[in-house]
Amino acid sequence: MRRLLLILVVLAGLGVAAALIVPMLVSPENWRGEIERRASEQLGREVTIGGDIGLTILPAVQITASDVAIGNAQGFGEEPFAELSSLRLGLALWPLFSNRVEVSEFVLVEPVIRLRQNASGNNWTFAGAGASDQPPANDGGGFRQPGAPGFDATFSGIRIENGTLSYSDGSETWDASQLNLSLDAIDLDSEARLHGDFALRGETIMLDARLGGFRPFMEGQRTALVLNISSDPLDLNFDGEALESAELELAGDASMDADLVGLARLAGEPLPPGSALRSASAEGRFTSVPGEIRFEDARLSLDEISATGSITANTGGERPVLTGQLAIPVLDLNPYMPEEQSGTTSGGQTEWSSEEIDLAALRLVDADLRLTAGRLIFGEIEVSEADVRARLTNGRLVADLSRFTLYGGNGSGQLVVNARSATPSYTLNAQLEGLQTQPFLGAAADFSALRGLGNFAVDLSSSGASTAAIMNSLSGNGNLRLSDGAIEGLNLARILRGVQTAITTRQLPQGFGPEEETDFSELGGTFTVRNGVLSNNDLSMLSPLLRVAGAGEFNLAEQSMDYRISPRAVASLAGQGGTPELNGIAVPVRLRGTFNDPSFSIDFEAVARELATGQARGLLEGLLSGQRPNSDETGGDTEEEAEPTPADLLRGLLDRQRRSGGDDGGN
């Protein structure tokens, strides 16, 4: 027994001596060239070790190297793909003899990794031994390969200390610094945890990921994955499964909360001052497979806007293609519209904004989405129960509104926004029935003098980079029919009753003012629009006592009007059964000024001309009978006769026509 113990002690002593002597006899420097050659063959890149190489055997195998560099792929410049200040690898010795790897330490100190991508591919896909030096195509395959490792392994102490990771693809560049990561894993079948933090554009990002096991993951099994990324501007969470394939596949519950101001700064695209974008959130069932990303049973929010539904993104083409359905209770677009300019027109009316409308987002993706909105708010206009199919192709948006409700009316239409060129273009085709005209015109054009239930049809087109430019180039046509309404601000019947005095005094008769109005049973006409000016020449209005014709222009670009309406008293009070050609006095009333401050005036010259032609002779004879002044009442003759009034001139004209007619009849 004593002899056996002596033998064991001797063997142990020899083993310790060998562990101490072998590193002295076998210098790692002698293996530098071989290590660089083997590493270069395996990676398909040139690997160099510019610093010292160290090797110890006990108590564990410890390998160190400093100033390590891994070359870049061809076509990505002379800068190395990766550089390491130093690396340390520790392995338990005895398990190696039983085909087991126990990593006690693997540390990369101050690594600098440069990820680059261009039209020919990327530099992080390693070709491996015997492969071409050409950069691999950007097919999304990465460097992952399915299949289980042919050995057992346990891990501890795997770390990256103070690393730097940069990315550039020609259009986007970012750098992550102060990268500190640790990987905790007992063995290939146990849960592995990767955690740490890094700095990106001044923000600290914390990462915590848990994988159900390396072995099932590398064997192509669906493996549990929990991922949390947190920072001040962004919290991202995923709880589901991962599948190793040509591309990593994910399926599980996902959620995101973002401060959009901070996130935009983090992404290197700061939001402009005064931007309304503040926050966004999303949660739902997330699935990612090669070429497609799905977000189902989703609950989304952007500031005060919320939505539910499902969205699918096809990522296999030139641009992502979005499809899906979303339901939005309230969609208020006002916070995201350009602010109105402080300038005003001479009438105190706010001018159209000349700030450029940013339509760049229309060129980022293609889409075919079905949207339903309980309420859609745009400016002062509010649309409800909108059902929209939005198709977006290469910057051209076609929005088909199969139904919507607008101020009590039901409508449908199509809106096209084409942002493919430097100057966007727009078309609108819409039909409305049963619209409450007054609140709509008040919201759309700050014009509230017209009341009634209306049917509208419009076919409009325009182009321009701002609201002002759009209104200045607006063209098209349309028609309207109103019923059971009123024109506010003037009482045409009252004006007609005071027209005789008005002709004499050349003063506006009573009938104008905010409390006055003219009722009608029908009002309609057609219109054309050219370069922002709406023209109408066939307005017709029917009222119990009046027939009204109208013609003129509304300058939508300048928000002003010059319009003439000609009310005509109905000779017979037959009511609505009469024809528009009934005899009576026509008194043209001119509307001028801005939409929010119109003015009214009477065209006395036109009244005199109409009366002089004899169109109202019968009615005037009745009005003038018994009204000729008595010379006795006026005090007899005067040295200078008074200047005749318009009524006197008209009376004389009628007398001459009567005498002339009598003479003719006597011949």
Do 529 and 564 lie in one domain? The reply is yes
Give pLDDT tens digits for 449-497: 889 999 999 999 999 999 999 999 999 999 999 999 998 887 877 777 6
52: left (phi over 0), alpha (psi -120 to 50) or beta: beta
Extended beta strands in 531-596, E state: 533-542, 546-555, 560-569, 589-594
Do residues 571 and 455 both lie within one domain? Answer: yes
What angle do helix axes 646-666 and 604-612 make, rounded to 10 degrees?
A: 10
What value, to the nearest 5°, has the Cα angle with vertex 267 and ends 264 and 269? 60
Residues 529 and 666 in one domain: no
Q: Which residues of the chain have pLDDT under 70?
A: 1-29, 127-153, 185, 246, 274, 338-349, 497-509, 570-585, 607-608, 610-667
pLDDT of 348 reads 59
Same domain, yes or no: 509 and 572: yes
Residue 588 counted as domain residue: yes
- Same domain flag for 554 and 667: no
User: For the chain, how many structural domains are there in total?
Assistant: 2
Same domain, 453 and 562: yes
Locate 180 and state its tokens.
């500190």
Q: What are phi and psi of 471, to 5 degrees?
A: -70, -35
Reading phi first (left if > 0) and then psi (alpha if -120 to 50, else beta), residue 75 is in: left
Query: Which pLDDT score is estimated for 512?
Result: 74
Show the 3-state SS of 196-207. Answer: EEEEECCEEEEE
Instruction: Please check whether residue 471 lies inside any domain of the structure.
Output: yes
Verify that 462 and 571 share a domain, yes or no: yes
Quick one: 499 and 609 in the same domain? yes
**Does residue 418 belong to any structural domain of this protein?**
no
Q: What is the pLDDT of residue 2?
A: 41
Mark whether 473 and 558 lie in a shared domain: yes
pLDDT at 339: 64
* 99 occurs within a structural domain: no
Residue 281 included in any domain: no
Phi-psi sector, 336: left (phi>0), alpha (psi -120 to 50), beta: alpha
Q: Which residues pair with 477 in a beta bridge?
A: 459, 528
Q: Are residues 552 and 664 in the same domain?
A: no
Q: Is there a domain that residue 555 lies in?
A: yes
- Phi-psi label, residue 110: left if phi above 0, alpha if psi -120 to 50, beta otherwise: left
Closest CA to 252 of 290, 234, 225: 225
Per-residue pLDDT at 61: 81
**Prior bond of 59 cis (ω within 30°):** yes
Does 401 reside within a domain?
no
624 shares a domain with 549: no
Q: How many CA atoms lie within 13 A of 524 on its CB side?
A: 13
Domain housing 649: 620-628+645-667
Please report, for residues 29, 55, 90, 217, 229, the alpha-carbon distance to residue 17 in angstroms, rounded to integers and kept in the order given.
21, 15, 20, 42, 50
Q: Please report which residue ranges of 466-592 form alpha helices under DSSP H.
A: 467-472, 492-497, 499-505
- Are residues 609 and 471 both part of a single domain? yes
Instruction: Give the C-alpha separation, 149 to 124, whole Å.
Output: 22
Residue 23 has a pLDDT of 54
Report yes or no on 470 lying in a domain: yes
